[in-house]
């Protein structure tokens, strides 16, 4: 937690990011979780409640940090031609990229920029898509700062603009960019590692099986996983049959 708090503090210092802006990320995740019957925490949450919650490692409160829960997930991957014969509508892996820059946060050359800048670019090139063509984002939100930095590093807003980008409910239900539509690691589930749930939620959204939290007309989605201290990043881009 202290490593991510360090990155958060640096982002606040360099770019003017505020605790209120980070709190908006936690509130958005909880709003999505309220629409998900499988989420662990579904009670309404406000910015004020995030700011007033127990400080874990300044500037991160307990509501800036992911849950610790039970849980498990799995997916089945097969050939596209085989998938056409299966009961469920197939979702296609259009592109993927991975980048690993360091082990410890002390080796990170810039505390406000992650290897997602590289993994995302590789995935976009493989999928032949760009950020403006992505309908749904599922990001590993171990902390509110990870959501904010991945929005920047994956090209959804300029570096340093993540705080202002999430203001006004932009990533919450009804906002212009649906992010972590199951409630994320902040409010849905986090059994030690969360990455598989970004894939599962992306697939549910593209199949149209996400229930009350369904994003209308979703055709493309990103699942993004994070490991270590912003150390290892992987980006996967998914699409429906209409995107092939």
pTM of the predicted model over 0.75: yes
Whether the predicted pLDDT of 95 surpasses 90: yes
Torsion over CA: 101, 113, 128, 232 (sign): positive
The per-residue DSSP string of 17-51 comes to --HHHHHHHHHHHHHHHTT-TT-S--S---HHHHH
Average pLDDT on 54-64 reads: 98
Q: Which two tokens stand for residue 230?
A: 């912003």
Asked whether residue 171 carries a pLDDT value surpassing 90, the answer given is yes
What is the rounded average pLDDT of the residues 37-64?
98
Strand partners, 41: none
User: Is 84's pLDDT higher than 90?
Assistant: no
Instruction: Count the neighbouring beta carbons within 10 Å of the beta carbon of residue 141.
Output: 31
Percent of all residues in the chain with a pLDDT value above 70, rounded to a whole number = 100
What is the enclosing helix (H) or strand (E) of 58?
none
Among 43-57, 79-93, 142-156, the minimum mean pLDDT is found in: 79-93
Question: What are the DSSP E strand ranges found in 103-192?
Answer: 136-139
């Amino acid at each position: 937690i202290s490593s991510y708090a360090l990155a958060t503090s640096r982002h606040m210092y360099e770019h003017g990011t505020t605790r209120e802006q980070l709190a908006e990320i936690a509130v958005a995740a909880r709003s999505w979780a309220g629409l998900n019957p499988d989420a662990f925490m579904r009670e309404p949450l406000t910015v004020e409640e995030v700011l007033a919650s127990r400080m874990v490692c300044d500037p991160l409160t307990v509501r800036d940090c992911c849950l610790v829960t039970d849980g498990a997930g799995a997916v089945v991957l097969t050939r596209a031609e085989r998938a056409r014969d299966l009961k469920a509508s197939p979702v296609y892996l259009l592109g993927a990229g991975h980048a690993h820059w360091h082990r410890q946060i002390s080796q990170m050359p810039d505390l406000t920029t992650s290897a997602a800048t590289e993994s995302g670019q590789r995935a976009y090139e493989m999928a032949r898509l760009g950020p403006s063509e992505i309908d749904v984002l599922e990001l590993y939100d171990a902390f509110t700062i990870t959501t904010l930095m991945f929005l920047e590093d994956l090209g959804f807003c300029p570096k340093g603009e993540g705080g202002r980008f999430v203001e006004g409910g932009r990533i919450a239900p009804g906002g212009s960019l649906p992010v972590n539509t199951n409630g994320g690691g902040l409010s849905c589930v986090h059994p030690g590692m969360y990455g598989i749930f970004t894939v599962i939620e992306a697939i549910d959204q593209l199949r149209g099986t996400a229930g009350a939290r369904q994003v209308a007309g979703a055709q493309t989605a990103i699942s993004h996983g994070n490991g270590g201290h912003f150390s290892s990043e992987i980006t996967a881009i998914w699409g429906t049959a209409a995107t092939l």
